[in-house]
Amino acid sequence: MTEPVKLIGAFGSPFVHRAEVALRLKGVAYELITEDLFNKSELLLRHNPVHHRVPVLLHGDKAICESLVILEYIDEAFDGQPLLPTDPGERAEARFWAKFFAEKCLMSVWLALWTEGETQKVLMKDAKEHLAIVETQLKEKRFFGGVAIGLADIAGASVLSHWAGVLQEVAGITIMSDDEYPAIRRWMEDYNADEVVTECLPDRDQLVSHFTSIRGKCVAAAKSMLPNYLATK
Amino acid sequence: LQSTSYRHIASAQSSMQKHHTIWKKNRQNMSSEKQETAAVRVLGRWPSPFVIRVLIVLGLKGVDHELVEEAVGNKSELLLASNPVHKMIPVLLHHGRPISESLIIVQYVDEAWASHAPALLPSDPYARAAERFWAHYVDDKFPTAIRVLRGRLDGDKDEAAAQVCAALQRLEVAFVECGQGKDYFGGDNVGYLDIALGSHLGWVRAVERIAEIRLLDAAKVPKLAAWADRFCAHPAVADAMPDVDRFVEFSLKNDGALKAASANSK
């Protein structure tokens, strides 16, 4: 007997998208529960008491939090397309790039969008350095996972392929212009070509109006995340 | 050592092209005798809790290894070549193949030496997820706060101490959930989360002395306080993590300059 799977998410969250892609790649049926992050439900607060954040995966009576932890859980708890290779060295590499995306590349891009002046200059420089590293990696492989989407691809392409364009438009700043990073662009196209991905991508226009309406909150969030990013550089 | 490592490294589908090239170069440079004795090397320096993690896990698994000490403020060519992205310690070199990021290294060692007991992560996916969640939480809450308390980073020391204490309160609860009332987060044996949190104990205890505060308070977090003593007394840990006196000594020598500098700039 299979236990029911639910995913607590919120519109516009690329971290929720990561979990949805993983579940769909595995062919796992799930119920999506959409939260209003400015009016969090008792369900969310109860199942993620430490962070009060989405996504939260509910598998039967178990609650799993943090999107990268959820990805590894999905890989281990369900059969289907593996998200990680079997070789320990290759697994370490996949985890390395997933962490690089989560803590460096996506973070510097996010922070560069919502800061100003000298701070923004530093973050832009970091973002471009990080993107250049990713570009070099993608010259030599289709996906970080090899021939198929894997853990690191879900971690990175989820944000860069759909959200980065939207956020640059809303912030009025260009970090990745159309003629830059051809390998990254090719990777994003390959990622988006997978129908499993497009099934759970939010509508672009709706994303633009969503982030436009919460622009102030993005700036505030970036401000609170900045010290930790700088401290761990 | 497993011959599977050779087979995988020789595989043409190796996706770590850049690191593969470095690995190949290292192997060619090493004599066949050296290859045997230096099959597992750790690039690092003892006061780093992240390096300590790697030394603990290698000790637990009974893996012979060589610690290649990185000088403070002077990164070696080998480090820069082995971890070009972050240029940080620790790096594990397994037959020259570099693995970076301490928790990733811990999982790698667990998986590459899976035939060596103990298994560091439980077999149940949910229990594994719980340990990964809390290990990530530990690295979110402890390193920066400890640096502030050491005087290595500007910040509010009261806030930093409060953050560590609050984190320990949460981990006190997690300890029972993960370990199910046994000696370690990993149950009967030291596991992944024990190593993730335990590796910070040297500095936690040192900072209690340096900043004259109580963090691991037996009155507030009795289970963790008992676990901490137990963990530090474990042979694999005692080998990897020196006594708190040495941490305090290191801090007085190296963090003192920073404290003086920040005091002068006020």
Do B109 and B153 have their domain in common? no
Tell me the CATH number at A117: 1.20.1050.10
| Among B81, B116, B151, residue at a domain's last position | B116
Average pLDDT for chain B: 87
Could you give the ipTM of this predicted complex? 0.96
Out of A178-187, B34-43, B58-67, which region has the weakest mean confidence (pLDDT)?
A: B34-43
- Residue A217 lies inside a defined structural domain of this protein: yes
A10 belongs to a structural domain: yes
Take residue A122 and report the two structure tokens written for it: 């530093």
Q: Per the CB < 8 Å rule, is A95 touching B100?
A: no
A126 shares contact with chain B (CB less than 8 Å): no
Clarify whether residues A171 and A119 are in a common domain: yes
The 10s digit of each residue's pLDDT in B109-153 is: 999 999 998 899 999 999 999 999 999 999 999 999 999 999 999
A208, part of any domain: yes
Q: What angle do CA B141, B143, B144 make, to 5 degrees?
A: 85
Omega within 30 of 0 (cis) for the link into A4: no
pLDDT of residue B49: 97
Same domain, yes or no, for B72 and B140? no
Say yes or no for a CB contact (<8 Å) between A232 and B143.
yes
Q: Mind telling me how many Å the CA of A190 is from chain B's nearest CA?
A: 18
Query: Is there a single domain that holds both residue B101 and residue B24?
Result: yes
The reported pLDDT for the residue numbered B72 is 81
User: In sequence order, what are the residues at sequence separation of 6 or more whose Cβ sits closer than 8 angstroms to the Cβ of residue B6?
Assistant: B95
* Shared domain check, B210 and B106: no
Is the pLDDT reported for residue B12 higher than 50?
no
Looking at the structure, tell me whether residues B227 and B165 fall in a common domain. Answer: yes
Residue A119 lies in a domain: yes
The answer to whether A231 contacts B94, with C-beta atoms less than 8 Å apart, is no
Boundary (domain end) residue, out of A20, A45, A75: A75
pLDDT at B73: 82
Same domain, A199 and A119: yes
Task: Verify that A11 and A59 share a domain, yes or no.
Answer: yes
Domain containing B39 — which CATH number? Answer: 3.40.30.10
Whether B151 and B242 share a structural domain: yes
Co-location of A119 and A208 in the same domain? yes
Q: pLDDT tens across A9-66, in order?
A: 999 999 999 999 999 999 999 999 999 999 999 999 999 999 999 999 999 999 999 9
What six digits make up the tokens of B95?
A: 């037959």
pLDDT digits (tens, 9 = 90+) for B79-100: 999 999 999 999 999 999 999 9
Question: Which residue range is the domain that position A196 belongs to?
Answer: 86-229
B26 has pLDDT over 60: no
Between B38 and A180, the higher pLDDT residue = A180
In the DSSP assignment, the letter for residue A6 is E
Q: Read off the CATH number of the domain in which B228 is found.
A: 1.20.1050.10
CB B78 within 8 A of CB B42: no
Residue where a domain stops, chosen among A42, A75, A108: A75
- Same domain as B148, residue B84: no
Nearest to B129 among A69, A93, A99 (CB): A69
Please check whether residue A160 lies inside any domain of the structure.
Answer: yes
Contact criterion met (CB < 8 Å) for A73 and B128: yes
Residue at A80 is within a domain: no
On chain B, the residues whose CB falls within 8 A of the CB of A229 are none
Last residue of a domain, one of B64, B92, B116: B116
- In which domain, by residue range, is B237 found? 125-264
> pLDDT-derived band of residue B259, with 50, 70 and 90 as boundaries?
low
Count the domains in chain A.
Answer: 2
- Residues A91, A63 share a domain: no
Q: Choose the closest CB to B85 out of A65, A100, A231.
A: A100
Which pLDDT band holds residue B32 (cuts at 50, 70, 90)? very low
A64 and A105 inside one domain:
no
- The answer to whether residues A105 and A169 belong to one domain is yes
Asked if B112 and B94 count as a contact pair (C-beta separation under 8 A), the reply is: yes
Q: Do B112 and A231 touch (CB under 8 A)?
A: no
Q: Is the pLDDT of residue B2 over 50?
A: no
In this complex, the residue of A96, A144, A146 whose CB is nearest that of residue B104 is A96
The A residues from 41 to 80 touching B (CB cutoff 8 Å) are 50, 59, 62, 64-66, 68-70, 72-73, 76-77
The answer to whether residue A39 sits within a structural domain is yes
Listed in sequence order, the DSSP H helices in chain A are: 14-25, 42-47, 67-77, 88-100, 106-114, 117-139, 151-158, 164-171, 182-193, 195-199, 204-213, 215-231
| Domain end position, chosen among A19, A45, A75 | A75
* Count of CA atoms in the C-beta half-sphere (13 A) of A170: 25
**Chain B residues inside the 8 Å CB shell of A73:** 125-126, 128-129
Residues 6 or more apart from B103 whose CB is under 8 A from it?
A: B53, B135, B139, B192, B196
Q: In this complex, which of A50, A73, A91 lies closest to B111 when CB atoms are compared?
A: A91
DSSP three-state, residue B69: strand
Asked if residue B260 and residue B129 are part of one domain, the reply reads yes
Nearest Cα to Cα of residue A81 among A142, A27, A18, A8: A27
Of the partner residues A68, A69, A133, the one whose CB lies closest to the CB of residue B85? A133
Q: Number of structural domains, chain B?
A: 2
Average pLDDT over residues B187-199: 98
pTM (2 d.p.): 0.90
Judgement on whether residues A105 and A204 belong to the same structural domain of the protein: yes
A92 CB within 8 Å of a chain B CB: yes
Q: What is the pLDDT along chain A (233 residues), one digit of tens a residue?
A: 589 999 999 999 999 999 999 999 999 999 999 999 999 999 999 999 999 999 999 999 999 999 999 999 999 999 999 999 999 999 999 999 999 999 999 999 999 999 999 999 999 999 999 999 999 999 999 999 999 999 999 999 989 989 999 999 999 999 999 899 999 999 999 999 999 999 999 999 999 999 999 999 999 999 999 999 999 88
Contact B15/A72, CB-based, under 8 Å?
A: no
pLDDT at residue A116, as a whole number? 95
A134 lies within 8 A of chain B by CB: no
Mean pLDDT within B24-34: 50
Instruction: Among B116, B137, B160, give the residue marking a domain's end.
Output: B116
Give tens-digit pLDDT for B200-235. 999 999 999 999 999 999 999 999 999 999 999 999
Tokens of A106: 């996506």
- Residue A92 has its nearest CB partner, among B4, B104, B125, at B104
